[in-house]
Amino acid sequence: MTKVILSGANGKMGQVITRLAAEDDKISIIAGKDINVEQKNDYPVYDDWNQITEKADVIIDFSHPSGLDSLLEYSQKTHTPVVMATTGLSEEQIGKLREHSKETAVFFSANMSLGINLLIDLVVRAAKILEDNFDIEIIEKHHNQKIDAPSGTALAIANAISASRSTPSEFVYDRHSVRKKRGKNEIGIHAVRGGTIVGEHEVMFAGTDEIIEIKHSAASKEVFAVGAIRAAQFLKGKKSGLYDMKDLVNSL
Ligand SMILES: NC(=O)c1ccc[n+]([C@@H]2O[C@H](COP(=O)([O-])OP(=O)(O)OC[C@H]3O[C@@H](n4cnc5c(N)ncnc54)[C@H](O)[C@@H]3O)[C@@H](O)[C@H]2O)c1
């Protein structure tokens, strides 16, 4: 049984995890943390980390970047590992997370879906095989409430492709502002926002007279919640280090 403190408990993702955990006897949410403590759950929800007396194996965080400092302080004080799923962290905050992971285990992934992590694996292979004969464009689509663009996942895909190449790629977000032909070394990254789209990521390899498209669509937020719960189970008892979905997939 993995005991969890759920940060962002009363948000959309927090509530999906709450529902899944209620049906799963391998995980138990023993407390929640949220700035909104209105919602009623089967477990207590606090708006201050200092009020939490319950002892958990892992913290799962689906909240907001503004909550990072107090969360890390609590994790350090109680030696509780963290599954960090919140997106939109600044470079400085990611640095803090890395630093924190030297003492406490941290699992960090902009996309907790196993399917997306398989997609990253496949596109890196495709990029290596196709070399620079194909132009790579990433198109991501999300609902109209999403604030950050492009998505953390689109950037993670682009970074993984770039890291696998001999020359780092140039990321191009805004063709509207330039008047020149596409360079060989570019990866175009495009964000589409509308309606209730949960999350789509498509990588297009466009060559001479042929196109290869590799695409992942999430039909509900459950895929991220399932991944985060698996990450929490994976992280339980781990001493220190920065882990991600690749480590989880390799451990299966
Ligand atoms: N990594 C992934 O796979 C993945 C998947 C889905 C969503 N997310 C990310 O998770 C986060 C939450 O998503 P959501 O759709 O549930 O959003 P949401 O707005 O519905 O929920 C966020 C919750 O966090 C609470 N909150 C805000 N600031 C807080 C703070 N400082 N401390 C504690 N709680 C705070 C809010 O009151 C709210 O209940 C976002 O950053 C989102 O991008 C990540």
Query: Which CATH number does the domain 114-218 belong to among 3.40.640.10, 3.30.360.10, 3.90.1720.10, 3.40.50.720?
Result: 3.30.360.10
* Alpha carbon nearest to ligand 1 atom 40, residue: 86
- Whether ligand 1 lies within 6 angstroms of the CB of 241 is answered as no
Residue written as token pair 């297009």: 204
CA 168 to centroid of chain Cα atoms: 23
pLDDT at 166: 86
- Whether ligand 1 lies within 6 angstroms of the CB of 64 is answered as yes
* Alpha carbon nearest to ligand 1 atom 31, residue: 67
Mean pLDDT by 10 residues, the chain (252 residues): 98 96 96 94 96 97 97 97 94 97 95 90 94 94 93 93 92 90 95 96 97 96 94 95 90 80
DSSP string, 49-80: GGG-----SEEEE-S-GGGHHHHHHHHHHHT-
Q: φ, ψ for residue 163 (rounded to 5)?
A: -65, -25
Under CATH, to which class is 2-112+221-251 assigned? Answer: alpha beta
Tell which atom from ligand 1 comes closest to the C-alpha of 9: 39
- Whether ligand 1 lies within 6 angstroms of the CB of 61 is answered as no
Give the pair of three-digit tokens for residue 55. 């002892």
Domain with CATH 3.40.50.720 in the chain: 2-112+221-251
pLDDT at 203: 98
Domain with CATH 3.30.360.10 in the chain: 114-218
Q: Which of 64, 146, 236, 238 is catalytic?
A: 146
Tell which atom from ligand 1 comes closest to the C-alpha of 109: 1
Tell which atom from ligand 1 comes closest to the C-alpha of 85: 1
pLDDT at 246: 85
Let me know if 176 is a catalytic residue.
no
The answer to whether the CB of 212 falls within 8 A of the CB of 205 is yes
Let me know if 79 is a catalytic residue.
no
